[in-house]
Structure 1
Amino acid sequence: MTLKHAEFGGSDDHAEEAITELHPGYKPWFAPFWEPPGGEVESLLFALQAALGAGVLGYGLGFLRASREPSGEARV
């Protein structure tokens, strides 16, 4: 089944719909201070965040592994 004009929607969108349906008078506590101008920018920011997180995680795991291995110095 192919949806031609389907729009990507995340869990935030579904939660907002459910809250609005259950409590029509609900007002959010805060609003985002900046909305990305389009879906492409939002996807780019998400990819950058994922890459940064993967880099930090990889560095941390590499650091832990290197600290557990004995150094390359000869023992007497």
Structure 2
Amino acid sequence: MMMHRPLSWPVMIVLWLIVIGLAITPIVLIRDTEFGGADAAAEEAVVEINPDYEPWFNPLFEPPGSETESLLFALQAGLGAGFIGYFFGRYHGRRRRPDR
């Protein structure tokens, strides 16, 4: 069985900075864009069908733009996937350990 060496902390920090830079760069460089999501499309469809529609509640936090909303959604999805992947990997690694 081949053992892999874990990455050092400086390498991990550089990789995280690259990922963060890749996520933020389009937001900073591309101006006056509209990234619409399913929520906005659904709201437009509901208002078109029923113009008197009133939402049941208002959001607690309203991001400054739809691109920020998309970034926060992608960040949430990435963190959730990383969290789940970490624990599945840890469980799988624990099952494969020779000392158990």
TM-score normalised by structure 2 residue count: 0.55
Question: Is 2:51 the counterpart of 1:19?
Answer: no
- Deviation of 1:39 after TM superposition, in Å, equals 4.1
Q: What letter is aligned with 1:10?
A: G
Aligned-partner Cα distance in 1 for 2:37–2:97:
47
Q: What letter is aligned with 2:78?
A: A
Specify the structure having the higher radius of gyration (Cα): 1
Cα RMSD over matched residues? 2.4
Instruction: State the 4+ residue runs in structure 1 displaced beyond 4 angstroms.
Output: none
TM-score normalised by structure 1 residue count: 0.68
Other-structure match for 2:15: none
Q: What letter is aligned with 2:42?
A: A
In structure 1, runs of 5+ residues without a counterpart are none
Greater RCO structure (CA 8 Å; 6+ sep)? 2
Residue 30 of structure 1, aligned match among 36, 41, 57? 57
Other-structure match for 2:96: 69
In structure 2, runs of 5+ residues without a counterpart are 1-31
Residue 79 of structure 2, aligned match among 39, 52, 75? 52
Q: What's the CA shift string for 1:10-69, capped at 9, x where partnerless?
A: 111110111001111110000001111234543442343133112211211112212321
- Deviation of 1:7 after TM superposition, in Å, equals 2.3
Identity among equivalent positions (%) equals: 55
Other-structure match for 2:21: none
Determine which structure has the larger helix proportion and give its number. 2
The aligned length equals: 69
Aligned-partner Cα distance in 1 for 2:81–2:37:
22
